[in-house]
Structures are given as structure tokens and as C-alpha cells.
Amino acid sequence: MASNSIDLDAYFQRIGYTGPRAPTLETLRALHLAHPQAIAFENIDPFLHRPVRLDPESLQQKLVVERRGGYCYEQNTLFRHVLETLGFHVTSYAARVLWGRNEDGVITPRSHMLLCVALKEGEYLADVGFGGTTLTGPLPFQPNIEVPTPHEHFRLRPTDDVMGVGFILDVRTGNEWRRVYRFDRTPQFVQDYEISSWYLCTHPKSHFLSTFMVARPQPGKRYALRNNELAIHHLDRPSERRTLTSAAELRATLEGNFGIQLPDSPDLEPALQRLVTAANAEKPAG
């Protein structure tokens, strides 16, 4: 259901979009590219042990007005409200993240949110919130078809095993296909995401509390920050990597490369300094 709390004019200004507003595939593609390039993936609030709110008013205030980023539940919930306000028909799903998991049969929790948008051309997977591998274009629900996006190529593979019938999303990096996540087509609701989001923000073993993660695609490349390690992944040449050695350098990178307007918080500067200090302490001597 569309939310009356979403200021479309402010959102479009935030992502730099001036195109059509009709609920068409052309509009969906344009918004799906503009959104992640403008609104970075980041977990600053969980990292600072702050709550993440998923109501439309909070998302509008944080991601649009305050020019912050957010993680999947924030990004895709905001995107769903925008699409529905424009007249798109959207269904929300939940995925089990497989990124970085090479073993077969691994069962991970349903900790990721994605969207399905129904158009006259068919159904499309939309997802503006998967960190360093965030889609920059929607994917048609056509199995085993390699689909180019403005960045990488993706595909959907049907699967039927002990976890049920569903799909696996793969991304092609170089000459290798890597699994991103698996999901089924059971509709999810904000109450489902509230529970998962609360877990990720509070459980001691949650990687969102222990690891600082920021990502943003840009034309021809992707920026990715993990703690104090910055990577720039180019589409046409090898990646660049750099270690950030001070809180000031971290702040400048967050504001510059990632376009984040950092919160005015007394907790932020000490947290950034701890990242640098911890990284330096782990370096081998000599």
C-alpha cells in the first residue's frame, strides 16, 4: 500500500531523477539505477548500537532529508513506498544470503529483503540494498537467462531442495558465477522485517554490530568500505585498494566517495578512531 509519508519531489531531488513518473519498465529501470548511486548502503546506526526504524516517516527523514544511507530493510522499504506511490504493484520477499558461502547445502537465516514488481512486460526482481553487489537494474523473472545491468551480469536459477522451491540469484564477476542469495516467493510484510532488523541490530553475533560496511555503485565502478579498508572495483580494469589510517580520512571518504551526510553524534568520531586503532593493532610487526 502506498504511503502518504513519502515526499516524491524530495526523493527525486535526493537521487537526481527528473524523468517520467508513469509506472513503466522505463521508469523502474531509471529509478533502480539512480537510487543506489545516490543513497549508499551503510550500517552506521547498528554499528553505533542505535535502533533502525522502518516506518515511512523515519525512512524519509533519514535517507532523504538527512541524506544518510541505510541497509537492505531501509533501502528496499523506502524504494517500495516510492514505487507504490507511483502506481507500481510490488510484493516483498525475504532471502537467505549466500554471498561468501562456498559450501553447498548451507542454511542461512532469511536476513535480506528484496522486491518483485509486476509490469505488463512481466515480473521483475528489484533490490537496491545488497551492499557491494547491489543491483543497478531490475531483473526479469526468467530462469537461467544471463541479464546485463549497468554494472555486472546476473541470473536467476530455480532450485528445489530441502529448503523448498525457490530461486538463487547469481552474479558474474570476471569469468566466475558467484551466488548472492536464495529466496522463495512467499510474501513478506513489515512485521517480518521488523523482527529480522531488530535481531541484526541487537544480537551480539550480528556482523552489523562488529563490522563497518559501506558501499555505493557509481558509473563504471563500485566503492566498498569494510572497516578501514577501501576498495574501488572497476568494471574495465583491476580493483584499487587502500587502507585508511585515521578517523579524519574515514570521515572524508564517507562524505566524499560515498556521499553520506554523517550524523552529528558524539559516538561517531570515537567509533571511527577505534576502527583505525584496531586495524593497526592487528598488523604484523616488522
Active centre residues (catalytic): 72, 112, 127
Query: Measuring CA to CA, which residue among 98, 95, 46 is closest to residue 70?
Result: 46
Q: Is the dihedral of CA 15, 18, 19, 20 positive or negative?
A: positive
| 3-state secondary structure (DSSP) of residue 105 | coil
Beta bridge partner(s), residue 159? 166
Q: What whole-number distance in Å separates Cα of residue 243 and Cα of residue 207?
A: 20
SS3 1: coil
Closest listed residue to residue 154, CA positions, set 137, 172, 134: 172
CA distance linking residue 88 with residue 176, whole number of Å = 34
Given a contact cutoff of 8 angstroms between Cβ atoms, the answer to whether 95 and 186 are in contact is: no
* DSSP string of 36-98, one letter each residue: HHHS-EE-HHHHTT-----SHHHHIIIIIIS---B-HHHHHHHHHHHHHHHT-EEEEEEEEE-
- CA–CA gap between residue 97 and residue 183 (Å, rounded): 9
